[in-house]
């Protein structure tokens, strides 16, 4: 398993001036990476995409943003458990991650301002699910569920997957990027998944760049698939990381080759410290569409979505004047399937889009 690194000065590819600047950032937003991920970075290239994922940037100190722009706190029904959409509940079973993505939308989990009630009482959550027959899907997230012990995680999955009416249990994890050896060496998890009965298990990976799909990551994917898990990938579109059609095309094709379905591409949310990583929705749509136009149907399946308090908007079309969005998932019943037209001038400015979003999208 990979070593966890929290000391910026332990990174071999940084010079003293860079370290001085970065230290000012980590006073507000902590740093964590793994030796595995550090080894993937091309330290000779100051603009390397994977370097951008983990190395703090002075731009994170720019003002603006919110620690909870999607108002997740409004959807907690129990400590550590959200119920936003009728058929799906979300459990934040892990508050820690093996590494911190600089663009994380839940960075509040790693700060003093965390309000999410970790850890959840799993038995209370199960009783809640039993009492709500509309719930068919459970998402385990955090943080990263794979930072739990294997025994603890398998027991949580077993209890939930065995409930009547539960059709799918999703495990949202970045571990296959940070430390794929954690999965390769984890015979308890792999055996536990093979022996599960009940709901289908989905592993929702978080690969943002094709270079993360190294040999060890591919082996971890293979083992999980052999254990019965269905593999899907979610990635944000991130400035300086994957904000080109070439990079996205490579990622989509690499995922399909590995047996992982491209599922969602997320807009960076207006979280404190994240504006430097945001690609405006209009530009993001055009990048993603160009990449998908070059791919097979298998590789072009991901939806580009924007997550808001009001739901998930699928960005699905472009006219001469507007970016076209449809509510793929809606917080409020009256919004289900509703189409939204956003002027190009607004959609081409992330700050402006989210500033007026609460009025535009209601």
Phi–psi pair at 155, nearest 5 degrees: -65, -40
Percentage of the chain beyond pLDDT 90 is 85
Q: With 70 as the cut, is the pLDDT of residue 134 above it? A: yes
* pLDDT band, very low/low/confident/very high, at 357 (cuts 50, 70, 90): low
Contacts of residue 302, Cβ cutoff 8 Å, sequence gap at least 6: 233, 252, 262, 263, 264, 265, 288, 292
Question: 100: left (phi > 0), else alpha (psi -120 to 50), else beta?
Answer: beta
* pLDDT band, very low/low/confident/very high, at 353 (cuts 50, 70, 90): confident
Delimit the domains of the chain by residue range: 4-360
DSSP H/E element including 215: helix 215-226
DSSP H/E element including 328: strand 322-330
User: Can you list the positions of beta strands (E) in 88-245?
Assistant: 88-94, 137-142, 168-172, 200-205, 230-236
**Residue count of the chain:** 362
Q: What is the pLDDT of residues 309-329, one digit of tens each?
A: 999 999 999 999 999 999 999
* pLDDT band, very low/low/confident/very high, at 361 (cuts 50, 70, 90): low
Q: Rounding to the nearest 10 degrees, give the CA dihedral for residues 69, 72, 73, 75.
A: 140
Determine the Cα–Cα distance for residues 24 and 288; give it in Å rounded to an integer: 34
User: 361: how many CB neighbours lie within 10 A of its CB?
Assistant: 19
DSSP SS3 for 221: helix
The whole-number average pLDDT for the span 13-17 is 87
The whole-number average pLDDT for the span 21-49 is 94
DSSP SS3 for 330: strand
**In the CATH hierarchy, which fold is given to the domain comprising 4-360?**
TIM Barrel (3.20.20)
Determine the Cα–Cα distance for residues 351 and 357; give it in Å rounded to an integer: 10
183 to 149, 175, 225, 302, 360: CA distances (angstroms): 12, 8, 12, 25, 43
Q: What is the pLDDT of residues 182-222, one digit of tens each?
A: 999 999 999 999 999 889 999 999 999 999 999 999 999 99
Contacts of residue 18, Cβ cutoff 8 Å, sequence gap at least 6: none
Q: How many CA atoms lie within 13 Å of 64's alpha carbon, on the beta-carbon side?
A: 14
Give 238's DSSP letter: -
* pLDDT band, very low/low/confident/very high, at 112 (cuts 50, 70, 90): low
Q: How far is CA 345 from the centre of its chain?
A: 28
DSSP SS3 for 170: strand
Residue 95 is predicted with a pLDDT of 78
């Amino acid at each position: 398993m990979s070593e966890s690194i929290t000391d910026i000065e332990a990174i071999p590819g940084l010079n003293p001036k860079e370290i001085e600047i970065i230290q000012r950032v980590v006073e507000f937003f902590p740093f964590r990476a793994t030796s595995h991920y550090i080894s993937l970075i091309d330290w000779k290239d100051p603009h390397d995409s994977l370097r951008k994922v983990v190395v703090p940037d002075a731009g994170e100190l720019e003002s603006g943003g919110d620690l909870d722009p999607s108002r997740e706190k409004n959807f907690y029904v129990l400590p550590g458990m959200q119920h936003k959409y009728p058929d799906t509940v979300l459990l934040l079973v892990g508050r820690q991650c093996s590494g911190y993505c600089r663009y994380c939308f839940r960075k509040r989990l790693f700060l003093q301002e965390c309000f999410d009630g970790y850890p959840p009482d799993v038995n209370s959550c199960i009783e809640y699910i039993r009492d709500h027959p509309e719930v068919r899907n459970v998402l385990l997230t955090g943080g990263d569920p794979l930072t739990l012990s294997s025994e603890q995680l398998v027991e949580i999955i077993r209890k939930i997957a065995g409930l009547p009416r539960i059709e799918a249990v999703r495990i949202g994890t970045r571990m296959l990027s940070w430390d794929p050896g954690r999965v390769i060496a984890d015979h308890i998890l792999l055996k536990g998944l093979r022996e599960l009965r009940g709901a289908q298990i989905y592993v929702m990976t978080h690969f943002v760049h094709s270079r993360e799909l190294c040999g060890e990551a591919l082996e971890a994917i293979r083992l999980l698939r052999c254990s019965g898990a269905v593999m899907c990938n979610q990635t944000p579109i991130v400035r300086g990381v994957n904000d080109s059609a070439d990079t996205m095309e490579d990622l989509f094709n690499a995922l399909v080759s590995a047996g992982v379905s491209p599922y969602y591409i997320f807009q960076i949310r207006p979280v404190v410290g994240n504006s430097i990583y945001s690609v405006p929705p209009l530009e993001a749509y055009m990048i993603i569409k160009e990449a998908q136009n070059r791919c097979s149907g298998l590789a072009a399946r991901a939806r580009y979505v924007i997550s808001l308090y009001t739901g998930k908007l699928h960005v699905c079309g472009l006219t001469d004047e507007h970016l076209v969005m449809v509510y793929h998932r809606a917080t409020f019943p009256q919004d289900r399937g509703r189409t939204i037209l956003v002027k190009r001038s607004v959609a081409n400015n992330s700050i402006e889009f989210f500033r007026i979003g609460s009025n535009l999208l209601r």
